[in-house]
């Protein structure tokens, strides 16, 4: 009788454990990131925190944004409000990300992102709102030219600043 009681208790315990809801393994939620907000947000944060100290660190943020083209501006509009975007620190890092996203047309993944319509719109907005910072205004003038043919680079930006 004792054996039957132990066996019955073991079976009930097994069934109780089997009927408890299963907890899924810890994993991040799946988020629709068709505008690459996470990639662009990481690049913006990286640049605001410390910026690249050497070429290896620069590649950490350049490579993920290089294939995005115009998508960087769509992501930035989802990250920053209009007021936040015109703040000098945010505008500076945005312009750096744009420069790198428009450095090589062949690396852009989506054909529609090779057309800089949104980026030109955002640059025009920044030009209208950010009139007190000549450095930002000059960077905008440079980017408006180089994004059209994907010839943006830190070297050509430097040359642009020092020739005019």
Q: What is the pLDDT of residues 94-130, one digit of tens each?
A: 999 999 999 999 999 999 999 999 999 999 999 998 6
pLDDT of residue 4: 47
Q: Which phi-psi region, left, alpha or beta, contains residue 31 (left: φ > 0; alpha: ψ -120 to 50)?
A: beta
User: Residue 132 — pLDDT band, cuts 50, 70, 90?
Assistant: confident
Percentages helix, strand, coil for the chain (3-state, rounded to 5) are: 70, 0, 30
pLDDT of residue 114: 95
Domain ranges, ordered by start, for the chain: 34-163
**Predicted TM-score of the model (pTM):** 0.76
Least confident range from 6-15, 73-82, 109-118, 133-142: namely 6-15
pLDDT of residue 130: 67
User: Residue 49 — pLDDT band, cuts 50, 70, 90?
Assistant: confident
pLDDT of residue 20: 45
- SS3 label, residue 158: helix
Tokens 């408890």 belong to: 20
Higher-pLDDT residue of 71, 134:
71
Residue 67: DSSP 8-state: T
Structure tokens of 160? Answer: 């642009």
Listed in sequence order, the residues at least 6 apart from 116 whose beta carbon sits closer than 8 Å to its beta carbon are 69, 70, 102, 147, 148
Query: Does the pLDDT value for residue 82 go beyond 60?
Result: yes
Structure tokens of 74? Answer: 């769509």
| Average pLDDT in the chain | 82
pLDDT of residue 90: 94
Residue 131: DSSP 8-state: -
pLDDT of residue 133: 86
Cα–Cα distances in angstroms (integers) from residue 91 to residues 11, 58, 88, 122, 132, in the given order: 66, 19, 5, 10, 12
């Amino acid at each position: 009788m004792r054996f039957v009681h132990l066996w019955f208790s073991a079976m009930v315990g097994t069934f109780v454990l089997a009927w408890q809801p299963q907890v899924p393994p810890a994993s991040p939620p799946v988020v629709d990131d068709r505008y690459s907000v996470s990639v662009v947000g990481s690049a913006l944060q990286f640049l605001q925190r410390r910026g690249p100290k050497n070429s290896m660190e620069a590649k950490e943020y350049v490579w993920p944004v290089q294939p995005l083209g115009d998508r960087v501006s769509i992501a930035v509009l989802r990250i920053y409000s209009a007021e936040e975007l015109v703040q000098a620190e945010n505008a500076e890092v945005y312009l750096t990300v744009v420069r790198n996203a428009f450095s090589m047309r062949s690396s852009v993944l989506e054909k529609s992102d090779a057309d800089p319509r949104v980026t030109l719109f955002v640059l025009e907005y920044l030009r209208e709102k950010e009139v007190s910072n000549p450095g930002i205004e000059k960077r905008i003038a440079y980017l408006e030219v180089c994004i059209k043919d994907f010839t943006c680079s830190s070297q050509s930006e430097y040359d642009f600043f020092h020739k005019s």
